[in-house]
Chains A and B, each alone.
Chain A
Amino acid sequence: MRKIGLLVLVLVLFGGVVASAEELRVYTWSEYMDEEKMPADFEEKFGIKVRLDIYENNEEMVAKLQAGGASQYDIIVPSDYIMPVLINQQLIQPLDHAKLPNLKNLKPLFREASYDPGNKYSVAYQWGTVGLMYRKDKISDAAAQSWSVLFEADKQAGAFWLIDSVREMIGIALVYQGKDFNSTNPKDLKAAADLLVAAKRTKNCMGFKPGVGGKNDVVAGTAVAAIVYNGDAIQSVTEEPDKLGFVIPSEGSEIWYDSMCIPSKAPNPDAAHKWINWLLEPEVGAELSNYNQYATPNAAAEAFITPEDLKNPGIYPTPAIMKKLHFTKDLGKDNRIMDEAWTRAKSH
């Protein structure tokens, strides 16, 4: 019996090695692509099986990479502000542009992104915003224009979720109180954390949930409002426009862009490059955006995007809305105080 156990153990260990040769491991956000069709299409075209693993926020993804995941995934999809962490901690590898001829399809803005000029490590994937998703029968369109519908107890209309993502949530709390979205001033951060604690303690607040989870609850009716990423929200709003709404409140919110990167010890970097190049193709890029309702950074893909989406201010914000949107900045050494503020907000 001992021998069998040993044999099984050996098989298991080697099995892991063999599997990665024909496999592409993608670590991405939940519901960020058609999780059945896209991997299937890729497999059909390139003969490489795609395995998806899901995360709900950047910090969770980085934690996993730091705990050993850097040698277990081929593709990750980090947001803009977390790039310096990945680069500094050598968790991602430089891209081989020779394998990415479709790079030219990107809009110029995304070829010279602040965190990674020249696309040394990353290729833009989608970009979008964060906003308030709400049920129209409980919250009027006018009331939804302000974050106070969440933060002020007498304006709350029912059960709601805050978003379980440190920079978005604290940033929103900061701009709601008139401070800088990226402030590292301890006083500002304390005030922001205390605002979140106060909101969390009201009977209407159910706690923190990742954007997708909050969206699902609003759609199901168990919540009347949630802080959600725009694409997730709009997917549902277009299905039930009289019941559900999405807006970016006037105090301001976040604009972000996600990129595809290859972890430093990825098992199959070759397949990873193929994946990135394939997603840069105009039709594929457009199919992606048409599905997840986010904005595409791909100039060539715009020709294939549904016209209604191009006109939808929820997906492609108007210049007026753009003024209220802030990019999240990496804080370097001050990341620490941001994390402590978050722990404070969640544990108080």
Chain B
Amino acid sequence: MKRAESVISWYGELTTRRQLLKRGALLLTPGMFWLMLFLVLPGLVLVAVSVVTRGAYGQLEWVFTLENYKRLAGFTLFGWTPDYLMILWRSVVVALFTTLVSVILSYPLCFFIAGRPERSRYMWLTLVIIPFWTNMVIRAYAWFLILSPELPFARLAAMFGFISDGAPLYPNAFAVYLGMVSMFLPFVTLPLYASVERLDWSLVEAAQDLYASRIRVFTQAILPQTMPGLSVGIILTFVPAMGMFVVPDLLGGAKYMLVGNLIQQQFGASRDWPFGAAISMGLMVLTMIGLQIYRRKGKEIEVI
């Protein structure tokens, strides 16, 4: 009798594997069908569109071409330019910076909350969750007020000559970084807290008793234990941060363009879907590379 036909006990039910899989496939169909139709298929279509031509009036002309990728690599009609690669690079840098600063600020915050008496912990967590659930458009434009010309921050910058007198402290790179960190901080704090809460402080004390330096205490005793939460936090921050477009658009304008804005521009006023698709593919590749590097690094740290 083939393996699939032999009777097994699955979650207490006496049945054959084949019957189970038949039922399972039935249950699997609605959800998977949806994901195939509206997730995987459009993704493949996007790849297809990235290698077709854009017509003179912004329409799609189904003629195969690698020009969009060439343009992404810099070979535009105006000669070679590193513009687009710069934008991709800039997006990676901004995402890395945002993630790093968010992690650096999250650890103290998590330790702080974990050290609070049980009752007030929920209050503090709620205080972190509220901005997390607040709409990102609101959180981004709210910086307009803080960075407006009348407030001391903008005045200080004008005094030092970074911006002109009476101008607000946006749009520029600084505002974008500010907005990004404030946006993604809770994304790291919340998962990290889940790990910090379960931290076994006896290990930390043991390390301290052995006269380990502060840094070693952190890397040997704290970091490995908080790895699960930290991993989730980093992935949830780095990947969306690379494709962000609301924050760079509102706080950076055209002065600090990131890949999210560039893609949006192609699907908007530039009406160049093929080029937009090619840029999206570029972003996709970067995301995959980032995730791979992260997985390798993650394994290394666990080995230590």
Could you tell me which A residues sit within 8 Å of B by CB distance? Answer: 57, 59-60, 62-63, 66-67, 85, 88-89, 156, 158-159, 164, 166, 186, 189-190, 193, 200-201, 203-209, 221-224, 332-337, 339-344, 346-348
B164→A62 contact, CB < 8 A: no
Contacts of A207 in B (CB 8 A): 171, 253-255
Contacts of B167 in A (CB 8 A): 158-159, 204, 206, 222-223
B69 CB within 8 Å of chain A: no
With A159-B163, A189-B78 given, is the CB distance from A89 to B57 under 8 Å?
yes
B78→A340 contact, CB < 8 A: yes
B272→A203 contact, CB < 8 A: no
Stretch at the interface among B29-37, B79-87, B104-112: B79-87
Partner of A339, one of B148, B253, B272: B272
Contacts of A85 in B (CB 8 A): 57-58
Binary interface encoding of chain B residues 266-277 relative to chain A, with 1 for a CB under 8 A from any of its CBs, else 0: 111111100000
User: With A and B bound together, what is the CA distance between A221 and B253 in angstroms?
Assistant: 19
- Identify whether the interface residues of B are mostly helix, strand, loop, or mixed: loop
The 7 closest A-B pairs by CB, nearest first: A207-B253, A159-B167, A59-B269, A190-B78, A207-B254, A333-B56, A204-B164
Partner of A347, one of B79, B83, B161, B166: B83
Total B residues in contact with A, Cβ cutoff 8 Å: 38
User: With A and B bound together, what is the CA distance between A88 and B78 in angstroms?
Assistant: 27
- Identify whether the interface residues of A are mostly helix, strand, loop, or mixed: helix
Contacts of A189 in B (CB 8 A): 78
Give the shortest distance, in Å, between A9 (CB) and chain B (any CB).
15
User: With A and B bound together, what is the CA distance between A63 and B58 in angstroms?
Assistant: 8
Partner of A208, one of B77, B253, B267: B253
Contacts of A348 in B (CB 8 A): 81, 83
Contacts of A88 in B (CB 8 A): 57
Could you tell me which B residues sit within 8 Å of A by CB distance? Answer: 54, 56-59, 71, 76-79, 81, 83-84, 87, 148-149, 161-168, 171, 253-255, 257, 262, 265-272
Partner of A335, one of B56, B78, B255, B266: B56
Closest to A224 in B: B166
Give the shortest distance, in Å, between A27 (CB) and chain B (any CB).
15
Contacts of B57 in A (CB 8 A): 85, 88-89, 335
Partner of B163, one of A166, A203, A332, A346: A203
Contacts of B168 in A (CB 8 A): 222
Give the shortest distance, in Å, between A344 (CB) and chain B (any CB).
6
B269→A159 contact, CB < 8 A: no
Give the shortest distance, in Å, between A227 (CB) and chain B (any CB).
14
A159→B164 contact, CB < 8 A: yes
Sample 13 A-B pairs with CB under 8 A, ordered by A number.
Answer: A57-B269, A89-B58, A164-B254, A201-B255, A203-B163, A205-B255, A207-B255, A208-B254, A340-B76, A344-B81, A347-B87, A347-B257, A348-B81
Contacts of B265 in A (CB 8 A): 343, 346-347
User: With A and B bound together, what is the CA distance between A203 and B57 in angstroms?
Assistant: 35
Contacts of A347 in B (CB 8 A): 83-84, 87, 254, 257, 262, 265
A206→B78 contact, CB < 8 A: no
Contacts of A158 in B (CB 8 A): 164-167
Partner of A346, one of B79, B149, B257: B257
Give the shortest distance, in Å, between A40 (CB) and chain B (any CB).
30
Closest to A345 in B: B254
Give the shortest distance, in Å, between B118 (CB) and chain A (any CB).
37
A342→B270 contact, CB < 8 A: yes
Closest to B275 in A: A343
User: With A and B bound together, what is the CA distance between A68 and B262 in angstroms?
Assistant: 22
Closest to A348 in B: B83
With A222-B149, A347-B84 given, is the CB distance from A62 to B271 under 8 Å?
yes
User: With A and B bound together, what is the CA distance between A121 and B214 in angstroms?
Assistant: 76
Partner of A206, one of B56, B58, B255: B255
User: With A and B bound together, what is the CA distance between A282 and B266 in angstroms?
Assistant: 41
Contacts of A342 in B (CB 8 A): 270
User: With A and B bound together, what is the CA distance between A57 and B271 in angstroms?
Assistant: 13
Give the shortest distance, in Å, between B53 (CB) and chain A (any CB).
10
Give the shortest distance, in Å, between B164 (CB) and chain A (any CB).
5
A203→B162 contact, CB < 8 A: yes
